[in-house]
Amino acid sequence: MTDRPLTLMAVHAHPDDEATGTGGVLARYAAEGIRTVLVTCTDGGCGDGPGGVKPGDPGHDPAAVASMRRQELEASCEVLKVSDLETLDYADSGMMGWPSNDAPGSFWQTPVEEGAARLAELMRHYRPDVVVTYDENGFYGHPDHIQAHRITMAALEMTELTPKVYWTTMPRSGMQRFGEIMREFHPDMPEPDPAEAAAMAEIGLPDDEITTWVDTTAFSGQKFDALAAHASQGENIFFLKMGKERFGELMGMETFVRVKDATGAAVPENDLFAGLR
């Protein structure tokens, strides 16, 4: 037996990702006395600048955006009661196909072994019992999400410390509800072209393939406030337009696929720490 607290480590790509995909579990497990460690891989410099100025437009300063987003990230962590924040501070690579993908020093251009070695050091320090990151497609194909997945899985191989590993996902039924709510708030939204619709249909998983359903409804207000802390990116955070009540209805359940387990806990499960306490 050990006095070391149970520890959750979430590895995310950008400031604000921690709130969107795992804000509920970070808040819930912090409230349960579990140590919560957030690793954010990039500086978010390809986000919107003041006044909504877009990357590549005149007046967009990636260094200034990164500084602003670091402050927002710290505010979000305070809302979610994250125990420890670690930032790798690689340059944001932008969306797939952007010129920033090829920029020297971008996360997408960083050798996986280099990023994994840095993350492995953090894993050895914190010795997480549960690690959460994205699937191999980064959930929706963002290069930095894909790279976060790659370095996380490589770091886990280097350390062999973690009993339970999860990838974030969404049930297809939830994606359908999300689409309906999007149309409710944007009735004039054009129908996606067939290729885009087909790509959207592949996001997430059939409900019966999801191993882990964690009810975080009681913490949906914190999750909403954590997203709101990323005010500079508000134009891109659709969820904030819902208001807290609707947000809680849609975002109160966080879902995962368990990809590694040393506990023998049965699935489906409703707790990332099932078998550990």
Positive or negative, the Cα torsion across 181, 185, 186, 187?
Answer: positive
Phi, psi torsion values for 137, nearest 5 degrees: -100, 10
143 pLDDT tier (thresholds 50, 70, 90): very high
pLDDT at position 176: 67
How distant, in Å, are the alpha carbons of 14, 29, 73, 152, 254 from that of 147? 12, 26, 20, 8, 22
Q: CA nearest 148: which of 219, 99, 86? A: 86
Length in residues, the chain: 277
pLDDT in tens, 185-239: 666 666 666 766 566 666 778 888 999 999 999 999 999 999 999 999 887 777 7
Please give the structure tokens belonging to residue 211. 């191993």
Q: Helices 244-251 and 172-185: crossing angle, nearest 10°?
A: 160
182 pLDDT tier (thresholds 50, 70, 90): low
CA distance 166 to 51: 37
> Does 60 have pLDDT greater than 60?
yes
Tell me the β-bridge partners of 205: 171
* Residue 52: half-sphere exposure toward Cβ, Cα within 13 Å: 4
Q: The pTM is what? A: 0.90
pLDDT at position 31: 98
CA distance 154 to 148: 10
Yes or no: say if 148 and 110 are a contact pair by the CB < 8 Å rule. Answer: no
> Does 2 have pLDDT greater than 60?
no
1 pLDDT tier (thresholds 50, 70, 90): very low
pLDDT in tens, 74-92: 999 999 999 999 999 999 9
Q: CA nearest 83: which of 27, 1, 146? A: 27
Yes or no: say if 81 and 27 are a contact pair by the CB < 8 Å rule. Answer: yes
Please give the structure tokens belonging to residue 29. 């497990």
pLDDT at position 244: 87
